[in-house]
Structure 1
Amino acid sequence: MSTTLRWLIESSSLENLHCVACSDKLDTPISSVNVLDNLDVVKWIKPNELVLSSGYLFMDDESLQRQLVQELHQVGCSALGIKTRRFFQTIPEAMLQEAERVGLPLLELPFFYSFSDISRVVFQRLFLQSSYRVRSEQRLLMALSNALFSGAGLSHMLQCLVQQYRTSVLLLSRSGTCLDAAYTSGTELRGMERFRPFAMPVSGETISLSCAGRQHLFFCVTLPGGYGGLFFLEDPANSLRGALTTLQHAAVLISLKLEQTRLQRLSSGECEGGFLSLLTDAAEDLADEEILHICHLHHFDYQKKRLCIALFPKDAAFSDPSALSAPLQTAAEALCRSTGPVQSHFLCMDARQCCLFLLCDASVSNPELLAQARVLIRSFQDQLGEGAFTQLRIGVGHCHQSVSSIPHALKECADVVHLMLPVFPDRNVFFASTNTIYHLLNQLPPAELRRIYLNTIVGLSEYDRANGTEFLKTLEAFYAHQFNASQAAKELYVHRNTLLHRMEKIKELLHCDFKDTNDLMTIYLGICVAEMLG
């Protein structure tokens, strides 16, 4: 049991103590004891201190009695204990009323106890509690140290924390990825593999995180070395703020374990399972030296400018990966033998994705390297055959040269496919560099996208629904063919004059003559938003 007013009245060795005001606050903790022998002492009283008084200083002054109760409440003392049958037969009614009003517990103390008797009992209890806590925390740190040096896993170390503090704990990377977790009995948090958006708080802060659609409060202790943080599920009845120093020591041991694991991975060759693991695992938390080590193992020339081309199956997996890799390898080798700027390539794949890196000197411009990617994709399409080619989804990322960008190459390609496929379902090749507008729009909140739509082409959509026309489709074709009416009409299977007639009606509905560059761009943004929103 903790040291509270309830313990003092009901369980301590002291007898005949009574709470005469705010008896609903008996669970208020006691952190120390102070004696009120001078009114100036009030400003030195600390939160949760038990204040003892004989009442002599305020026995004949009702206004002073009320003022004292207010001031003690403001400084946050746990309770005011007053001796009776010396200067007071009973505690004055004015003090009782004021204490109930502001929420300050008042204790009636028997005359036969000295202040030193009461103080000794409380301080002895606090000392025993402090000693127990120190021994308990020492046992925790010893258990964590033993786990670190005996080779026990992170899960075991986290379970030690759970047993000590009786609350669930998550180990999150600095980017919000859940690296490990341990739970109290009957508690398990779902849907917390990765938190987005995420910003690492400082130690001692409380942060709200969403798990399976529910918000939970967590107490954070950051890990040294930038490894992330420990997040303890908040329990109002069991605050961890008093244990912050010990938790910070524990965080050092957890960081050492993470560093130990990292060094073991580097030295043991564990990463030789495939270069693709660098692209598909939670590699955003890898240090540059780890990335370089994996590149050296697989002879990947990280010093070159690179462009990643990723192939994904239309279905869950490639039916025959080798049938895909052979023509892709052939097309890449032919491109490297040509007089173009691509000097080498690097291919890695599994049943779910295939990555081809085109490598060249840093002096080669991005547009030139992207043009080489188009040449390679056409050559690969010719060798693979149209039927098999249409069963693929191909994403082409941005040009990069930094080491830290290597682990993100596959995700960048996957993101452009996921973003653009709903917009252009009849296509299967998507370049991140040529879909910048869609990428920028995708960063906007839904309300802002809706505003762009309402400010631009909503009139066309509503007119089409009301009248069965295809003005929005006509406008999209007009833009897609660079305002060439003949080509747009050909795509829509209508006469050129019909398309021109439709464009006049579109100008009327949009209140736009398509002569101002800003208007043209704004309308195009509206078309893009409509395509994204379906």
Structure 2
Amino acid sequence: MNLTVEAILKSEFMEGARLLAGISALEKEIKYVDIIEVPDVIDWINEGGFYLTTGYSFKDDLQSQKELVQTLSAKNSAALCIKKGRYFSEIPEIIVKTANELNYPIIELPKDKSYVDILLPLSSMLLDKKTYLLKHSEKIHQDLTDVVLSGGGLDHLAQTLYKLINKSVLIQDREQKKLVFVGDKEDVLKHEVYIPEAKLKKMLLKDNINLIKSEKQSRLMTPVKVSGSILGYVSIFTGENSDIEKIDYRALQHAATVIALEMLKEKEKTEVEKRLKVDLFNDLIQQNYNSEEIIINRALNLNWDLEKNYLVIVFEIDDFESYYRNLEASQEYQIKDIQDKIKRIIKRRLLQEHKDLIVINKSSSFIVFYNCEGLDQEKRKEKSRAFAEKIAAEIKKEIASTKLFAGFGGHYQGLDGIRKSYHQARQAIEMGKKINKESNLFHYDDLGIFKVLVKLDNRECLNEFNKEMLGPLLKEENSDLLKTIEALLNSFNNKREAARKLNIHRNTLDYRIKKIAKLLDVDLQNSENWLNLYLAFKVKQML
């Protein structure tokens, strides 16, 4: 318990003392006791000081008397005790008046009360309190450590902390979602548990432990950290009839340390599971297994049912390498935070749609096995696209600086089908980003001729073909002619439509067509030449 002015006034050694001012400030905590009898004492005053004086240093100066009270109040000291007798027969009115204006406690001591009568018992009480705090702090630390060492989880830790400090305990993950709550639910209901991210960051920059007060209660909150990365938060709450005490700060510090150990254990388990999933996925995609039965059983151990039919969606963070380039080595955990947050968003959406939770994170990619059984092709495409759009929207909302691409493969049967769908989803992203810069969602079915072109590995051959077909038009001075032939191809050689798209006169278009035919030395009446030009433009988009 805190040692307050009110508690001291009720003590036997303060018999005969009289409170003259500051009746509403008796809850002030006393942290130490001292005597002030010399001039220029202002620099010695500190928070929580309980000061004794005869008034010698300010007995003849009304302004000094007023300034002393103002300083004592400004520095949040506990109280000033003035002894009647040698210098004051009555406590000066200016002191009492100023103290009442500032709601600062002034206590009158009787003539026969010596300093020793107060100093000895009060110092003893303060020492006892420090000893109690130290012992209680050690007990809290030991009890919480014992819980972790005995294999107790977050539930057990929260229960133990609740019993030790008799205050409600809330443990949250880094998204501020409740993991464990122990205590009076009313404590939490009276308080806004979620704190907006920007506000929380600002709070944590200022203090590691934050006291958040409302009319009906107080909340003490601190992050749970490991190597600079926030894993979650732990808070304690008071009701209307209690307040945050000094021991609560120490308890919260101890709790954050042991909760970090427990969360780290859980994180390591998750990392092991993640590695197992990535290994399984790699073996599946690379056909690194002797029998389908073995890999299906390995998957079942990870709660994956590979005997269902899946459509594979690949989500990819745009320009992921730039994140690393722009971050210092000590900030690399921020990349991990982004990856974890994206994975949680995807899993949350899968749960909302009652889908299988098969999500694999490989560097900048997130691979989802999306179950569309029972739907026709059109519905599968519609549902999977809607799912990806919601994911992209949530990520844009929660991680504003991150853009996500999504590629969709087809829906096939068996392990070969999963493998095929994955490669298609990858190709959809790779080609989609080149041929449709306005979109971030690409379906393999929509690639058209690019499905064939993407299988041509010889880029040198493709470059040669491109130059052979479009050569002179690729020069900067002929950019208008290049746009003209492209408009004609996209308008199926409809000259009126092409002229409209280019916003030029039909005669200008005819002139350009003749110039193109001459530069390329081709007959534009020949359908095979048009096909070659069409393919050349598609190759140009690819390269």
TM-score using structure 1 length: 0.53
Question: How far did 1:413 drift?
Answer: 6.8
For 1:39, what is the secondary structure of its paired residue? coil
Indicate the residue corresponding to 2:96 in structure 1.
96
For 2:81, what is the secondary structure of its paired residue? strand
Indicate the residue corresponding to 2:536 in structure 1.
none
2:254 aligned partner, one-letter code: H
In the alignment, is residue 390 of structure 1 matched against residue 379 of structure 2?
A: yes
Task: List per-residue Cα deviations over 1:209-265 (Å, max 9, x = no partner).
Answer: 9xxxx99955214333435243314549533666545533332222222333445x4
The aligned runs of 1:354-503 (5 Å cut-off) are 387=376, 389-390=378-379, 393-395=382-384, 415-416=391-392
Question: How far did 1:123 drift?
Answer: 1.4
Change (3 A) 1:48 1:193: closer
Aligned-residue RMSD, C-alpha? 5.4
Indicate the residue corresponding to 2:180 in structure 1.
180
- 2:234 aligned residue (231, 235, 243): 231
For 1:108, what is the secondary structure of its paired residue? strand
Change (3 A) 1:219 1:483: farther
For 1:8, what is the secondary structure of its paired residue? helix
Indicate the residue corresponding to 1:255 in structure 2.
260
Indicate the residue corresponding to 1:6 in structure 2.
6
Partner Cα distance (1:327, 1:217) in 2: 47
2:355 aligned partner, one-letter code: Q
Indicate the residue corresponding to 2:17 in structure 1.
17
Indicate the residue corresponding to 1:134 in structure 2.
134
Question: How far did 1:133 drift?
Answer: 2.1
The aligned runs of 1:198-347 (5 Å cut-off) are 201=204, 204-206=208-210, 218-225=220-227, 226=229, 228-233=231-236, 235=238, 238-239=243-244, 243-263=248-268, 265=269, 287=271, 290-297=273-280, 299-300=282-283, 325-326=308-309
Change (3 A) 1:386 1:189: closer
Asked whether the 8 Å contact 2:48–2:77 carries over to 1, the reply is yes
Question: How far did 1:85 drift?
Answer: 2.5
Change (3 A) 1:71 1:390: closer
Q: Which ranges of structure 2 fall in alignment gaps of 5 or more residues? A: 288-303, 313-349, 397-409, 411-424, 442-486, 501-543
Partner Cα distance (2:176, 2:384) in 1: 26
In our comparison, the structure showing a higher alpha carbon Rg is 2
Question: How far did 1:50 drift?
Answer: 0.9
Change (3 A) 1:192 1:151: farther
Partner Cα distance (1:80, 1:233) in 2: 33
Asked whether the 8 Å contact 2:21–2:104 carries over to 1, the reply is yes
For 1:42, what is the secondary structure of its paired residue? helix
Question: How far did 1:49 drift?
Answer: 0.4
In the alignment, is residue 122 of structure 1 matched against residue 122 of structure 2?
A: yes
Partner Cα distance (1:51, 1:27) in 2: 16
Change (3 A) 1:181 1:385: closer
Partner Cα distance (1:87, 1:358) in 2: 81
Task: List per-residue Cα deviations over 1:287-315 (Å, max 9, x = no partner).
Answer: 5x6522332256557999xxxxxxxxxxx
Indicate the residue corresponding to 1:316 in structure 2.
none
Asked whether the 8 Å contact 1:221–1:248 carries over to 2, the reply is no
Asked whether the 8 Å contact 2:5–2:26 carries over to 1, the reply is yes
For 2:15, what is the secondary structure of its paired residue? coil
2:226 aligned partner, one-letter code: P
Change (3 A) 1:323 1:156: closer
1:230 aligned partner, one-letter code: Y
Partner Cα distance (2:110, 2:489) in 1: 100
For 1:157, what is the secondary structure of its paired residue? helix
Change (3 A) 1:11 1:166: same
Indicate the residue corresponding to 2:335 in structure 1.
none
Question: How far did 1:139 drift?
Answer: 2.0
Asked whether the 8 Å contact 1:52–1:115 carries over to 2, the reply is yes
Change (3 A) 1:328 1:391: closer
For 2:104, what is the secondary structure of its paired residue? coil
Question: How far did 1:107 drift?
Answer: 0.5
Partner Cα distance (1:419, 1:70) in 2: 53
For 1:104, what is the secondary structure of its paired residue? coil
Asked whether the 8 Å contact 1:17–1:107 carries over to 2, the reply is yes
Task: List per-residue Cα deviations over 1:420-476 (Å, max 9, x = no partner).
Answer: 9xxxxxxxx999968986889xxxxxxxxxxxxxxxxxxxxxxxxxxxxxxxxxxxx
Partner Cα distance (2:106, 2:361) in 1: 79
Asked whether the 8 Å contact 2:96–2:106 carries over to 1, the reply is yes
Change (3 A) 1:483 1:253: farther
2:264 aligned partner, one-letter code: E
2:16 aligned partner, one-letter code: N
Asked whether the 8 Å contact 1:84–1:111 carries over to 2, the reply is yes
Partner Cα distance (1:247, 1:359) in 2: 34
Question: How far did 1:43 drift?
Answer: 0.8
Partner Cα distance (1:10, 1:359) in 2: 64
Indicate the residue corresponding to 1:308 in structure 2.
none
Partner Cα distance (2:438, 2:117) in 1: 77
Partner Cα distance (1:357, 1:6) in 2: 60
TM-score using structure 2 length: 0.52
Question: How far did 1:66 drift?
Answer: 1.8
Asked whether the 8 Å contact 1:99–1:105 carries over to 2, the reply is yes
Q: Percent identity?
A: 21
Change (3 A) 1:111 1:170: same
Partner Cα distance (1:18, 1:191) in 2: 39
2:210 aligned partner, one-letter code: T
2:15 aligned partner, one-letter code: E
Partner Cα distance (2:117, 2:360) in 1: 83
Asked whether the 8 Å contact 1:295–1:301 carries over to 2, the reply is no
Partner Cα distance (1:44, 1:142) in 2: 37
Change (3 A) 1:30 1:65: same
1:204 aligned partner, one-letter code: N
Task: List per-residue Cα deviations over 1:387-442 (Å, max 9, x = no partner).
Answer: 47526644369xxxxxxxxxxxxx8575159999xxxxxxxx999968986889xx
Asked whether the 8 Å contact 1:167–1:183 carries over to 2, the reply is yes
Asked whether the 8 Å contact 1:91–1:108 carries over to 2, the reply is yes
Partner Cα distance (1:60, 1:215) in 2: 45
Partner Cα distance (2:285, 2:175) in 1: 24
Partner Cα distance (2:103, 2:150) in 1: 53
Partner Cα distance (1:92, 1:85) in 2: 13
2:243 aligned partner, one-letter code: N
